[in-house]
Amino acid sequence: MLQLPIDVLGVSLAVPASVGVSFATGDSTAESLLRDADIAMYSAKSQGKGRVTMFDATLRDVAVRRLTLKVELPEALRTDQFRLAYQPIKDVALALRLRRPGNPELTQRRRRGENQLLPRRKPRRAC
């Protein structure tokens, strides 16, 4: 339905659309409705062409986390908050057979403040 072809100068073109929908609540403003619909639309686009996504609080949380990260990363780079860490990957079955740890993994960790080490993301293999 969102990809019905249109005729342009004798050529049939399918123009897919991604749609974000938000609903008004008692404290909604035109600005908040547009912002929420925009967040939902970008979520729809990320899922593929011709999608409709309804806005919910989870989408707002994701958008806030992304914006926070976008704001914090330049400062983290400027203040040298990133550290590389090599850690063994422990495959229990292999370790029992060979009696040694598996291949090391390389992780990049970020410190925020003096003692706060942020949780690690999915590791990348070093070997």
- Each residue's pLDDT, cut to its tens digit, for the chain (127 residues) gives 566 788 889 999 888 889 999 999 999 999 999 999 999 999 999 998 889 999 999 999 999 999 998 998 898 889 888 888 776 666 667 666 666 555 666 777 777 666 555 555 554 444 4
Q: In total, how many domains does the chain have?
A: 2
Domain C-terminal end among 72, 95, 117: 72
CA-wise closest residue to 122 among 113, 109, 112: 109
The domain of 1 spans 1-72
Tokens encoding 115: 């003692």
Name residues whose C-beta falls within 8 Å of residue 14's C-beta, 6 or more positions apart in sequence: 3, 4, 5, 6
- One domain for residues 61 and 8: yes
Q: Against a cut of 0.75, is the pTM above it?
A: no
Q: 55 with 22: CB under 8 angstroms? A: yes
Same domain, 60 and 90: no
Strands 19-21 and 104-112: unpaired
